Amino acid sequence: MASNIAVGGVLTECNHLGGLPIDLSVYESSELYRGDQVLTLSTSVVGGMLSDLRVQRAAPRPLLFAAACSGGPITADCYSQLRTELLERLAQSLPIDGLLMPLHGAALAEGEDDPEGDMIRAARDIVGAAVPIVVTLDLHANITPTMVSCADALLAWETYPHRDQFDTGRRAARLLSQMLTGAARPTMAMAKVPVITSAIHGSTDGNDPFADLMRKTKALEQQDNVLSTSLFLIHPYMDVAGMGSGGLVITDNDLDRARSLASELALDYWARRHDLEPATWTPAEAIAHGGAVAGAPVLLVETADCCGGGAAGDSIATLAALLDAPEKPAAFAPVVDPSAAAICHAAGSGSQVTLELGHHLDPRWGKPRTVTGTVEKLSDGRFTYTGGQWEGHHEQMGPTAVLAIDRIKVLIMSRATYDWADEQWRALDLNPLDAKFFVVKNPMNYRLTFAPLAAGCYILDTPGPTPASLKHVRFQKLTRPYFPADAEIEALAPTVLT
């Protein structure tokens, strides 16, 4: 008889340092699939899970799947509504043989620092101890004791930029099927060390330190009795007790081995901490230095205002430095500012406008600036992703405009959206490679499109909730010692969760 496998979860990354709270309307305008609607998903992690379940001839029991671009914590109302619906649908789907949960691992809700642990524990209470629960996570997850103790297996993406959600979904479904036939009896250990760095050197490609660590982690899967390994670079913009990065190992019925392999990975991670911490420039330094570089484009990486990490995207810190540069260079810069976009739309294409730009959504990080420019382009902001978690998904920036201020073109959007490659720019028919300077607001995905072509690249130190270094962030719940606030920690031992 076909096994009945429930599939459902909430996949969101959140930020405690800034950004806007995520309410239900954010999921409704991004991804919110209920019941049978979940079965229409063919890409990303849920698509991967369903594809493998089809191969197994298992019967999927779709629950609910919600995903959205990062932001501040999920509002208490929204979290309660999604959690309740997920769990009610799970209870209605009983009896089941297994549960697959596509989660993120760095979600936050108002009043709940560990939504994933909370959802897994609640699901465990419903399905009982005997039904296996396999969970997929982003490799930027914060692995908590509840997640490890209440799930049978946690499997993370293996790539960053994230390209393997589909494969991770398939791996999860496959492991679950091996458990159901008795071919696998997962025993799991997570070992972490207090290394809190941004994702700037966190690529799994090439020579990044994280890539080295990932290769070593995945090589362990070739050993006998190792079912799965994962490496985590924690999303560093949460403020939660016990945060850390490290390795998770799932063995076949050998907890001691899982524990010792995971501890080894965590100690390796600690040894590479300095390599993971980036050097930064001020925008003015980068513009002066980059101006002397031959060729274009020169990338100005304002990672502190990354929508994909939870920021509002409304900073003009780098744009202001471009406007103040002695010779205003040709440049492209993005900013999320619904009121400025509305003024451009009201004025019409070709009009000259004077408006207050920036820092309207999350005003903690800077002040708006009065600018005068010409409205060059207008759009409704619709575009389609061509890769990553949202491949093929239609997204909307809301009313969008291109404002030309001298030789600087500002892409003014009404809504924050996740940066995958250059979809937002192409939606306005702009080729960012035409400018000397190009401002990107993410720590990694810019490499997909621009890094191979860039003449120079500067990681900036600017105000915002997703900075390149966590050295000067004052955490409340994360207590010292941790790197980079503490370069050395005496008698450091990994924290091991089983």
Shortest Cβ 379–Zn ion spacing (Å): 28
State the Cα–Cα distance between residues 206 and 468, nearest whole angstrom.
20
Part in contact with Zn ion (CB under 5 A); list of ranges 130-138, 171-179, 200-208, 346-354: 130-138
Q: Give 79 or 418: the residue with its C-beta nearer to Zn ion.
A: 418
Q: Give 138 or 152: the residue with its C-beta nearer to Zn ion.
A: 138
b/e sequence 11-22, b meaning 16+ C-beta within 10 Å? bbbbbbbbbbbb
**Which of 423, 398, 425 is CA-nearest to residue 413?**
398
Part in contact with Zn ion (CB under 5 A); list of ranges 40-48, 132-140, 269-277, 433-441: 132-140
Shortest Cβ 31–Zn ion spacing (Å): 16
Contact 231, 171 (CB under 8 A): no
Q: Give 117 or 310: the residue with its C-beta nearer to Zn ion.
A: 310
Part in contact with Zn ion (CB under 5 A); list of ranges 69-77, 125-133, 135-143, 352-360: 135-143
Q: Give 124 or 140: the residue with its C-beta nearer to Zn ion.
A: 140
Shortest Cβ 445–Zn ion spacing (Å): 10
Shortest Cβ 330–Zn ion spacing (Å): 32
CA diameter of the chain: 74
Shortest Cβ 472–Zn ion spacing (Å): 23
Residue 138 lies near Zn ion (rule: CB under 5 A): yes
State the Cα–Cα distance between residues 369 and 323, nearest whole angstrom.
10
Handedness of CA 350, 341, 411, 401 (dihedral sign): negative
b/e sequence 469-483, b meaning 16+ C-beta within 10 Å? bbeebebeebeeebb
Q: Give 193 or 233: the residue with its C-beta nearer to Zn ion.
A: 233
Q: Give 398 or 443: the residue with its C-beta nearer to Zn ion.
A: 443
Part in contact with Zn ion (CB under 5 A); list of ranges 82-90, 114-122, 138-146, 277-285: 138-146
- The closest residue (CB) to Zn ion is 140
Q: Measure Cα distances from 115 to 9, 44, 100 in Å.
A: 11, 21, 16
Part in contact with Zn ion (CB under 5 A); list of ranges 61-69, 137-145, 190-198, 249-257: 137-145
Part in contact with Zn ion (CB under 5 A); list of ranges 134-142, 177-185, 200-208, 279-287: 134-142
Shortest Cβ 274–Zn ion spacing (Å): 22
Q: Give 140 or 447: the residue with its C-beta nearer to Zn ion.
A: 140
Kindly state the number of chain residues that form the binding site for Zn ion, as judged by CB under 5 A: 2
State the Cα–Cα distance between residues 150 and 123, nearest whole angstrom.
9
**Which of 236, 232, 256 is CA-nearest to residue 246?**
232
Q: Give the position of tokens 């670079």.
A: 233
| 255 backbone dihedrals φ, ψ, rounded to 5° | -65, -35
Report whether the peptide linkage leading into residue 161 is cis, meaning its omega lies within 30 degrees of zero.
yes
Binding mask 72-111 for Zn ion (x = CB under 5 A): ----------------------------------------
Identify the three-state secondary structure at position 441.
coil
Shortest Cβ 103–Zn ion spacing (Å): 12
Part in contact with Zn ion (CB under 5 A); list of ranges 41-49, 83-91, 139-147, 471-479: 139-147
Identify the three-state secondary structure at position 114.
coil
Shortest Cβ 389–Zn ion spacing (Å): 9
Q: Give 70 or 400: the residue with its C-beta nearer to Zn ion.
A: 70
State the Cα–Cα distance between residues 268 and 317, nearest whole angstrom.
36
Shortest Cβ 37–Zn ion spacing (Å): 25
Shortest Cβ 138–Zn ion spacing (Å): 4
State the Cα–Cα distance between residues 437 and 419, nearest whole angstrom.
18
Q: Give 138 or 302: the residue with its C-beta nearer to Zn ion.
A: 138
Residue 16 lies near Zn ion (rule: CB under 5 A): no
Residue 140 lies near Zn ion (rule: CB under 5 A): yes
| 134 backbone dihedrals φ, ψ, rounded to 5° | -115, 130
Shortest Cβ 302–Zn ion spacing (Å): 19
Q: Give 144 or 263: the residue with its C-beta nearer to Zn ion.
A: 144
- In the chain the first and final C-alpha atoms are separated, in Å, by 33
Scan residues 162-201 and list those touching Zn ion (CB under 5 A).
none
Q: Give 67 or 319: the residue with its C-beta nearer to Zn ion.
A: 67
Torsion, CA 138, CA 415, CA 18, CA 286, rounded to 10: 90
State the Cα–Cα distance between residues 207 and 376, nearest whole angstrom.
41
Shortest Cβ 161–Zn ion spacing (Å): 9
H-assigned helices in 200-336: 209-219, 255-271, 273-276, 283-291, 317-324
Q: Give 69 or 459: the residue with its C-beta nearer to Zn ion.
A: 69
Q: Which residues bind Zn ion (CB under 5 A)?
A: 138, 140
